[in-house]
Amino acid sequence: MGYFSASPGAIYPALRRLEEAGLVKGTVENASTLRPRMAYALTLAGRAALKSALSRPVTREDVIRRIDTLILRFSFMDGLLPKERTFEFLRSFWTEIEACLEVLEKEARMNARWAKRTHYRLIEEHAGKGETK
């Protein structure tokens, strides 16, 4: 989907596409009631695709533009990936965040008006160069 949205207008069309692709299987529950519902479960192909997506390396672009997706990926790892793969994910996440901090520190030093902004004070605190006020 490219991003996560909890709205029914995004979820149900996505579930239909996933089912058409053979990644999930929907079954009707409580069919004899006034409000039957569809329950979806991963197929074997869907489970393999999810594991593959969760195992992708973290990129700088992910940290800058898709931090919410990274957090969502992390939340799905438990029980699907071995602990070592989860630790690798967290290490690469940390490495990319640190690299972004280095860029922000450089930008902050070059731009004096940043000195009064909360982001700059947080960068200084992280780098051990100052205190927040």
Per-residue confidence (pLDDT) for residue 33, from 0 to 100: 85
Among 10-14, 66-70, 92-96, the range with the most confident prediction by mean pLDDT is: 92-96
Burial 121-132 (b: 16+ CB within 10 A, else e): bebbeeeeeeee
pTM: 0.65
As a whole number of Å, the CA-based R_g of the chain is 21
Confidence of residue 133 (pLDDT cuts 50, 70, 90): very low
Domain boundaries, the chain: 1-51, 56-133
The predicted-structure confidence for 19-76, as pLDDT tens digits, reads as follows 999 999 999 988 888 888 889 999 999 999 999 999 999 998 888 888 888 998 999 9
The predicted-structure confidence for 102-127, as pLDDT tens digits, reads as follows 777 777 677 666 556 666 667 667 76
The whole-chain average pLDDT of the chain stands at 83
Instruction: Report the candidate in 66, 65, 68, 73 with the shortest Cα–Cα distance to residue 90.
Output: 73
